[in-house]
Structure 1
Amino acid sequence: MADESTQSIVIDAPPERIMDVVADFAAYPEWANGMKKTEVLEAGPDGRGAQVRFNLDAGPVKDEYVLAYTWAADGLSVDWTLVKGQMQKSQKGSYRLVPSGASTTVTYTLAVQLVIPMIGLFRRKAEKVIMDTALKELKRRVENAA
């Protein structure tokens, strides 16, 4: 399995508003950098995406992949794993939310293993860019929708 990376950010919003943005897969192309198309293939009993296909085009990185999601009943976390992908052998990730007053700390964890090996230095730089982008764009989307 790939090495795991974790980053956190504080978002000025309650957890339910953040999870609503995370679960709104149809809107990802509007705010998630490089995301060209998304499609919910299967919904869970709560109506949220259980299996979702993503089409990513972030310059040199292009991929189509399907993730399976597990949403926590308390609304404070979501986990996902790779079902299938073109460029990825595996992907495991999560968002964990910890409310604190009017803000929420969001912790994003991601482990990706690519089909083609990548030199450690480049892999770590790519992970940092992906995580920074994911958290900052999520924060911007949630706070601007307020």
Structure 2
Amino acid sequence: MTELTTSSIVIAATPERVLHAIADFAAYPSWAKGVKSADVLSSDAQGRPAQVRFVLDVPPISDTYTLSYVWDGNRSVTWTLVESVLLRSLDGTYELKALADGTTEVSYRLQLDLMVPVIGMLKRKGEKVLIETALRGLKTYVEKN
């Protein structure tokens, strides 16, 4: 079984505000490092993004990939890889927990697999950097807006 890499952060906003920011894919290039564009290809019955195409450029890695999203109210969003050139899989979850002081704990779980073999320890380290960078970017974006 492949391991999930997990990290959490507390954001000074309600779960609804945080989830709204997560769903605002057009804004990703402003806060998600390396994301050049994120285009919603389809939406679910509630109007939330269901499939999103990303263009990523973090030298030396460039890729275009599509993710499928499933939303669980204001509690979580999960995604799975639909297609990619460099990735074999990219599965993740943002889980949101409202805290008593009006803030939200956001836990990010990620599991990725590349088309090229990578030592497990290096892959997990890369996942950890990716998660922590994304969480800090999300926190900054939500708290400024």
| Range of TM-score over shorter length | over 0.9
The corresponding residue for 2:19 is: 19
Q: Percent identity?
A: 47
Root-mean-square deviation (CA), in Å?
1.1
- Is 2:35–2:55's contact at 8 Å kept on the other side of the alignment? yes
The corresponding residue for 1:52 is: 52
Q: TM-score, normalised by structure 1?
A: 0.94
Q: How many residues align?
A: 144
The corresponding residue for 1:139 is: 139
The corresponding residue for 2:87 is: 88
Deviation at 1:30, TM superposition (A): 1.1
Q: TM-score, normalised by structure 2?
A: 0.95
- Is 1:2–1:113's contact at 8 Å kept on the other side of the alignment? no
Structure 2 segments unaligned to the other structure (5+ residues): none
Deviation at 1:70, TM superposition (A): 0.3
Matches within 5 A, 1:1-146: 2-72=2-72, 74-101=73-100, 102-145=102-145
CA offset digits 1:69-104 (Å, max 9, x no partner): 0001x3110010000111111111000000012111
CA offset digits 1:114-145 (Å, max 9, x no partner): 00011233212211110110111000000111
Structure 1 segments unaligned to the other structure (5+ residues): none
- Is 2:70–2:79's contact at 8 Å kept on the other side of the alignment? yes
